[in-house]
Chains A and B, each alone.
Chain A
Amino acid sequence: MTQRLFMKGNEALAMAAIEAGCRYYFGYPITPQSDIPEYMSRELPKLGGEFIQAESEIASINMLLGASATGVRAMTSSSSPGISLKQEGISYMAGAELPGVIVNICRSGPGLGGIDASQADYFQAVKGGGHGGYHIIVLAPSSVQEMYDLTMLAFDLSDIYRIPAMVFGDSVIGQMKESFVPNPRPRRELSPKDWVVRGKGSGAQRVVKSLYLGDGELEAHNWKLHGRYGVLKEKETRWEEFLLDDAELVVAAFGSAARIAKSAVMEARGKGLRVGLLRPITLFPFPEKAFRAVTERCKKVLTVELNAGQMVEDVRLSVARDADVLFYGRPPGAGSLPTPEELLVQIEKNY
């Protein structure tokens, strides 16, 4: 077994990006994710890579777009206000079918808001945050180990499907230190990138673009993208099930909220309450089938989020028709992070 390390989630994520072959990083500092550019600025030059502190978030997302068009693995990271600025570039990447990893260590808003742990960018992440009706892959780690493992997965999925991928965390997952195993990059068959721009040479001209003006061209392009989202839903949905078999109440939560909720679920079990946890790991594609399956039997779901209610809408769309979907959450900000004790009260109230 590889030796266990003890590091911040943000650092583990940066380390995983390098293990996954990312050699180009573009970003602009913002709390609570600045450990990521700090790590990349230290490590990438040693590997012959390139770290650029761009003049803005908008510049850095467009640098990611450009780097990706040449076929390399590249990444940008930011936190909520910066991710808002990147949306135009993400939409262009989605339109041009460019892979690339975008990290959002989500902070509280709206506007400048605060730096506390938040899941209030759920809608923005999973519904296509920019214009044009697209989706990106969204992965939600709930431990430092997953910050590491899911970042490597984000690069692979993004390359395979030619869709930008987001790692969606917050200051709990990003700033805490945990023991984790720095697993080697998984072996995976990846198709050659025969679409990258490389100078014409003797080959055929290649164009990376999101502009389609010909009659019927754009519709066909969009149907192709939507078809791919369908394949993602079919093949790449991931979730964790915890004590669901005999559950009378299923708690649904992702990321840091799921960590807090899991302790509450264990406490509830200790008191004899049959409670389980269903934790989406991919937020897009959303684990619709998992929710449908569990609610064929268990008719009560309590969704817990660090916001005023966003994922709960996807849970409602996914469950069996006669299931009740309840919600507990608080708008994020200083002092509003729920504790396991607080969630246990909610579980007991709704059981």
Chain B
Amino acid sequence: MRHDVFIAGFGGQGVLLAGNLLGYAAVTEGKNVSFFPAYGVEKRGGAAMCTVVIADDEVGSPVVGNPTVALLLNQASYDKFVCRVKPGGTCIVNTSLVDTAGQVRDDIEFIPVPMNDIAVQLGDPRMVNMIAIGAYAAKTGAIRLASLEEALRLTLPERNHKYIPANVKALEAGAQTCQ
């Protein structure tokens, strides 16, 4: 089985952390994985994007043109990447920030998740990326929630391990939107 996904948003939304988390979680499951960040002159507030490929055997190309799934966290990344999703694929959209009316596709599945609203309800607006990954895990089955939880310990620096319970709650809240 091979899973590829685009994760995109603006710098500061935790897009690269989300990709890293998926990567570490895949390694803990004994899978092969590549995490390829769009590498440009990135900065907070600018565009942030990464491609993650998880595979039981060879990963193949870390560069993907048309992903089967896209997690799009802001309007700019929605406008740029929704057209790239493979027909029959899935687009998980942060509807707190994205108006999808401009570009509608009937050949892919839309999963609207008001990520910022859910994050605020949970008490921390920074949890948008965890909600996105939770939704992705539940929707695709590419990775287990338990592996993500374990991977948080590897992904976050030691000083931030006190936030792991809050992150786990956000992963679960994201997963619930797709159950």
Contact = CB atoms under 8 A, between A and B. Distances in A.
Nearest to A338: B63
**Chain A interface residue number, banded:** 20 to 34
Contacts of A256: 63
Nearest to B66: A341
A260 B31 CA distance: 20
Nearest to A114: B40
Contacts of A266: 60
B61 A263 contact: yes
B60 A179 contact: no
A179 B55 CA distance: 11
Contact of A179 (B32, B37, B39): B32
Interface in A245-270: 256, 259-260, 262-264, 266
A250 B24 CA distance: 35
Given A6-B24, A177-B34, A179-B33, A262 B40 contact: no
B87 interface: no
B136 interface: no
B110 interface: no
A176 B64 contact: no
Interface string B129-169: 00000000000000000000000001000000000000000
Nearest to B26: A179
Given A6-B24, A115-B40, A334-B40, A178 B61 contact: no
A259 B62 CA distance: 7
Interface in A334-351: 334, 337-342
Interface residues of B, number: 24
Interface string A1-20: 00011100000000000000
Given A6-B24, A6-B27, A341-B66, A262 B39 contact: no
Contacts of A337: 63
A96 B31 CA distance: 46
Contacts of B66: 339, 341
Contacts of A4: 27
Given A6-B27, A32-B39, A260 B63 contact: yes
Contacts of A119: none
8 contacts: A4-B27, A172-B63, A175-B37, A176-B35, A178-B35, A260-B61, A260-B63, A339-B64
Interface of B: 20, 23-24, 26-27, 31-37, 39-41, 59-66, 154
